[in-house]
Structure 1
Amino acid sequence: MKIYNFYIIRNVFVGFAAAAALLIPLFTTFDLINELDDVTAGGYRWSQAVEVVLMTLPRRLIDLGPFIALLGGIVGLGQMAVSQELTAMRAAGVSIVQIAMTAMVAGLILTGALGALDEWVASPLQQHGAQLRSEAIAHSDEAVNTRGTLWARRGDEIARIDTLGKHSQPLGIEIFHFNPDNTLASYIYADSAKLAPSGGWTLKQVNLKQWKDGEETVTMLPTMNWEPIFSNTHLKDLTLPSDSFSIKQLNRYISFLKSTDQPADKYSIALWQKVGRPALTLAMILLAVPFTFVQQRAPGLGSRLAVGAVVGLLTYVGNQIVVNLGLLFELNSQMTTLMPPLVILCVALALVYRFDKRG
């Protein structure tokens, strides 16, 4: 690799650092303000809110990755354009395509680092923060089912867990058994359940209702054994937000949802968004190249950054619209999540080649 390649990569990474230094504190402040809305005297404390926000910092960095790539590329390459260094490189025979491909190397390093951060750092920290937040809010008098309701289905059996207590103990279990004609055969309500190492559950304080030949029988039992639908999945994972899942957890949860006849589109999209994010990040870096050469005579970077911010925002909004439309109309998850980044990448490549021919 030639010296000018290292120089471009170094300047682009300086731009990444500048963009991150601008965006991370701004969005972290918004996150903290949002968390402080849930602070209560007897439950979720402000110190815990700060801790949760700090735990979500890596996730925020990953979510802002495409913005950082675009604005960082504009800053890094734009500064070289202002100082006439790109003009000198062009005079030395370096094409715009070569400059763009060198910037792409910086983008590949960035996407690799963000991918590793996502899988092994951001996901565990965010999940720990979510559990800390839920447990703290659960101690508040205003808490209402903060861990979320869980549903599962197995054949003619449907189960619901109202919430999870300490150590992921199921609380408020309802089990519905249906006849082949979809009439209700039995209904079970249990206050709680004890999970056995073998995978079975012991339901406690059971209220069993059965219907046969038009007659209803009610039985109260102190305990009752049940082979759970949730036996192959960690319950605490099921209550976490989908964006906090690692790729391994998403694959496991999608398999669980499909095995229990539940819709898995939301989590399939979350999985493929992780796959498509590197393409979107690389596309944003390539988009920084036209910004650099279209306004080479501009005295500063302010106008480029302003336009870049607008483009980044429109790209984000457009991508979210496509993803939500795909979820609404149950479109193919891969097409819904991968098509927008690939289209933007193709547009960016076309713009780079166009500017190279004009130059």
Structure 2
Amino acid sequence: MRRLNRYVGRAIIGSVATVLLVLVALDGISALVDEMSDRKDAYTGLEVLIYVGLTLPARLYEQIPFAVLVGCLWGLGSLAGASELVVMRAAGVSVARVSWMVLKPVLWFMALGLALGEYVIPYTDQIAESRRALAQGEDRALQSRRGLWSREGDEYMHFNAVLPNGVLFGVTRYGFDERRQLVFSSFTKRATYQGGGVWLEEQGQVTDLSGAEITTSTFTTRRWRTGISPALLNILVLPPEALSIRRLYSYATYLGQQGLGSDEYWLAFWQKLLQPLAAASLVLIAISFIFGPLREVTMGFRVFSGVVVGIVFRTSQDLLGPSSLVFGFSPLLAVLVPILICAAVGVVLLRRSL
């Protein structure tokens, strides 16, 4: 039985890995073509390649459920085409046993996805966006199309680029008094976190509007004390889907405690947390197809069927997710419904094939 487990496992791993490689390659080439149109200043072809390379972990993470579905259809279809599944069943191996043989290697891809989402993607995505902003010459006040706004008391701030190691580029600050009148503005090319809520600003210019006359001065370095920390900026600068599960949970909880809208972060949290369950439901669909309606069709039709099911599954998630934010129903329900429907369809088809 161990030899049979290894044989089925190699077939599934090889098929899923091949499909995953093809999908990520196509996605990367498409992104490369799109980014080439944005080249300017120091954002050269090499920088475009680096940017796309840094975003590959996120692209791989997004394609895992789809690759698992198509890869399992391909791998199991090959076994069925060679009548190996018939031999297994004749030898007394149950459908449940075969399903477990297929699911075990898929667990490695689920673990890979969790590892990427927790420890790799939040770092590489932030590096990629910051490098692109700096390479495109976005080191002037309010020049970044992907910058970040923040507020602390009566002060509003904009950061062109945020690096994960506590370095800011293009820091613009506006200070207001109790009458909402602008009293100062400043721009700093670079700010580095020193610890204890202190940042060191370098090469800046300050405009004072509090007096009768407007005065402008420059400085080489100065200390800036604020409650904004690198950890907070690392959360704010990235879209919810690029954050880790831990950060999504903590920040969504914090927003809820402050009475602020947190549904977008809860939606991303449940999507990431339940991604292994989504992949498992798609594996169940693939197994039920091979033992059921797709048992005797061509390999091309099996792959086509997997692509159609994957597109329908992803489209339903893409529709229900934003709908939960608009109509106010639970983000958990929006993520869970497509998964439960896939699992139910897989179970029904498997029961009919027995």
Preserved CA contact (<8 Å) 2:148 2:159: yes
For 2:34, give the aligned amino acid. N
Shift of 1:263: 2.8
Q: CA 1:168 to 1:132, structure 2 compared with 1: closer, same or farther past 3 Å? A: same
1:292 maps to which residue?
Answer: 290
Q: Say whether residues 1:163 and 2:159 are aligned partners.
A: yes
2:66 maps to which residue?
Answer: 67
2:12 maps to which residue?
Answer: 12
For 2:159, give the aligned amino acid. T
Normalising to structure 1: TM-score of the pair?
0.81
Preserved CA contact (<8 Å) 2:133 2:160: no
Give the whole-Å Cα distance in 1 for the aligned partners of 2:325 and 2:48: 32
1:103 maps to which residue?
Answer: 102
Preserved CA contact (<8 Å) 1:149 1:160: no
Give the whole-Å Cα distance in 2 for the aligned partners of 1:218 and 1:270: 49
Shift of 1:262: 4.3
Give the whole-Å Cα distance in 1 for the aligned partners of 2:90 and 2:177: 77
Shift of 1:296: 2.1
Q: Deviations over 1:186-206 (max 9, x none)?
A: 545421476663315799725
1:205 maps to which residue?
Answer: 206
Shift of 1:175: 4.7
Q: Deviations over 1:275-310 (max 9, x none)?
A: 011111111111111221222222x30011111101
1:181 maps to which residue?
Answer: none
For 2:112, give the aligned amino acid. A
Give the whole-Å Cα distance in 1 for the aligned partners of 2:73 and 2:129: 35
Preserved CA contact (<8 Å) 1:283 1:345: yes
For 1:275, give the aligned amino acid. L
2:186 to 162, 187, 191: 191
Preserved CA contact (<8 Å) 1:161 1:171: yes
Preserved CA contact (<8 Å) 2:197 2:227: no
1:213 maps to which residue?
Answer: none
Shift of 1:67: 0.8
Shift of 1:234: 4.0
Shift of 1:112: 1.2
Shift of 1:7: 2.1
Preserved CA contact (<8 Å) 1:172 1:189: no
Give the whole-Å Cα distance in 2 for the aligned partners of 1:259 and 1:186: 31
Preserved CA contact (<8 Å) 2:138 2:160: no
Shift of 1:337: 2.7
Q: Say whether residues 1:53 and 2:52 are aligned partners.
A: yes
Shift of 1:349: 2.9
Q: CA 1:138 to 1:329, structure 2 compared with 1: closer, same or farther past 3 Å? A: farther
Q: CA 1:255 to 1:168, structure 2 compared with 1: closer, same or farther past 3 Å? A: farther
Preserved CA contact (<8 Å) 2:139 2:170: no
Preserved CA contact (<8 Å) 2:281 2:339: yes
Give the whole-Å Cα distance in 2 for the aligned partners of 1:330 and 1:230: 31
Q: CA 1:331 to 1:135, structure 2 compared with 1: closer, same or farther past 3 Å? A: farther
2:131 maps to which residue?
Answer: 132
Preserved CA contact (<8 Å) 1:97 1:353: no
For 1:31, give the aligned amino acid. A
For 2:343, give the aligned amino acid. L
Shift of 1:327: 1.8
Q: Say whether residues 1:84 and 2:83 are aligned partners.
A: yes
Q: Which runs of 5+ in 2 are unaligned?
A: none
Q: Say whether residues 1:247 and 2:248 are aligned partners.
A: no
Q: Percent identity?
A: 25
- Output aligned runs, 1:252-331, within 5 Å: 252-254=250-252, 257=255, 262-293=260-291, 294-298=293-297, 300-331=298-329
Give the whole-Å Cα distance in 1 for the aligned partners of 2:42 and 2:261: 34
Q: Which runs of 5+ in 1 are unaligned?
A: 179-183, 210-215
Query: Which structure is richer in relative contact order (CA contacts within 8 A, separation 6 or more)?
Result: 1
1:120 maps to which residue?
Answer: 119
Preserved CA contact (<8 Å) 1:266 1:327: yes
Give the whole-Å Cα distance in 2 for the aligned partners of 1:273 and 1:35: 27
For 1:62, give the aligned amino acid. Y
Give the whole-Å Cα distance in 1 for the aligned partners of 2:61 and 2:26: 15
Q: Deviations over 1:252-291 (max 9, x none)?
A: 5445645766433222222221101111111111111122
Normalising to structure 2: TM-score of the pair?
0.82
Q: CA 1:252 to 1:34, structure 2 compared with 1: closer, same or farther past 3 Å? A: farther
Give the whole-Å Cα distance in 1 for the aligned partners of 2:255 and 2:105: 38
Preserved CA contact (<8 Å) 1:279 1:342: no
Q: CA 1:50 to 1:169, structure 2 compared with 1: closer, same or farther past 3 Å? A: closer
Q: CA RMSD in A?
A: 3.3
Farther off after superposition, 124-133 or 29-38 = 124-133
Farther off after superposition, 18-27 or 330-339 = 330-339
Q: CA 1:323 to 1:11, structure 2 compared with 1: closer, same or farther past 3 Å? A: same
